[in-house]
Amino acid sequence: MKKIIPILVVLLIVIPSLAQSAQPLDALRGPVDSIISVLNDPQYQDSAKRDVEQEKIWEIIRKLFDFTEMAKRTLARNWRSFTPQERKEFTQVFGEFLGNTYISKIQKDYKKEMVVYVKEEMVTDSKALVKTKIVREALEIPVNYGMKLHDGVWRVYDVNIEGVSLVKNYRTQFNKILLSKPPSHLIERLKKKIEQQKQGKAVSDQAALEALLGAYC
């Protein structure tokens, strides 16, 4: 009995500290698996429930993605020429646009594809690259997540699909636009894209409704 207590004490100290240093791969796996389970959940299969499904996925994404970091990295040097108010607005609008784009894509196209977690590479103590693969029929698509440790939480700041970095791709686009237009113009364009997304959804909802009615008429 006397020997067990010191061992127990050591275990009780060691185990919590192990749990505290969450690894980036685990920090990614949790949310991604949650998203997949939401997509597979039978209660959301009905197209009427799509908004609810979207909101559920948004909750997960909000915690997983570091939108401020992504906004900074896509604007790069242009960040400095944005006022704080513009920076905040840009981050909100860009975050909403990215989330909507990602969610509408996976809602439309997800067909029980498998996500394989290949490995994690620590670049520094607070920066990591988590490599995954999406297996779709005979095709394997490498998707790598750049993650950063901030306040004890690992979050995604870049997604790299088949060698193409999201952040770099948007940086090129935004840089081109900001060469000749003010920040407010870029923010307006993003807002217009969001409007188009909402309309696109409205159009497809209407189409789905008509298809449904057509089946009964």
Look up residue 171 and give its two tokens.
Answer: 């940086």
The C-alpha atoms of residue 145 and residue 157 are separated, in whole angstroms, by 8
CB of 211 to other proteins, least distance (A): 17
How many CB atoms are located within 10 Å of the residue 55 CB? Answer: 10
Query: In this chain, which of 101, 126, 199, 206 binds other proteins, going by CB under 8 A?
Result: 101
Stretch that binds other proteins, among 32-40, 73-81, 114-122, 207-215 (CB under 8 A): 73-81
The separation between CA 175 and the C-alpha centre of its own chain, rounded to angstroms, equals: 22
State which of positions 182-201 bind other proteins (CB under 8 A).
182-184, 186, 189-191, 193, 197
Tokens 């997604």 identify what position? 159
34 binds other proteins (CB under 8 A): no
Q: Supply φ then ψ for residue 125, to 5 degrees.
A: -65, -25
43 binds other proteins (CB under 8 A): no
57 binds other proteins (CB under 8 A): no
Look up residue 36 and give its two tokens.
Answer: 């997949």
CB of 125 to other proteins, least distance (A): 13
Query: In this chain, which of 42, 119, 137, 179 binds other proteins, going by CB under 8 A?
Result: 137
Query: Which is it for the CA torsion 171, 165, 120, 136, positive or negative?
Result: positive
Strand partners, 119: 131
163 binds other proteins (CB under 8 A): yes
The smaller minimum CB distance to other proteins, of residues 25 and 186, is found at 186
DSSP H stretches of helix in the chain:
4-20, 24-40, 50-64, 67-75, 84-109, 166-180, 183-216
Look up residue 200 and give its two tokens.
Answer: 């696109």
CB of 59 to other proteins, least distance (A): 10
State the residues that interact with other proteins by CB under 8 A.
5, 8-9, 12-13, 16-17, 19-20, 62-63, 66-68, 72-73, 76-77, 79-80, 83-89, 91-93, 95-96, 99, 101, 104-105, 108-109, 136-139, 150-153, 162-165, 168-170, 172-174, 176-177, 182-184, 186, 189-191, 193, 197
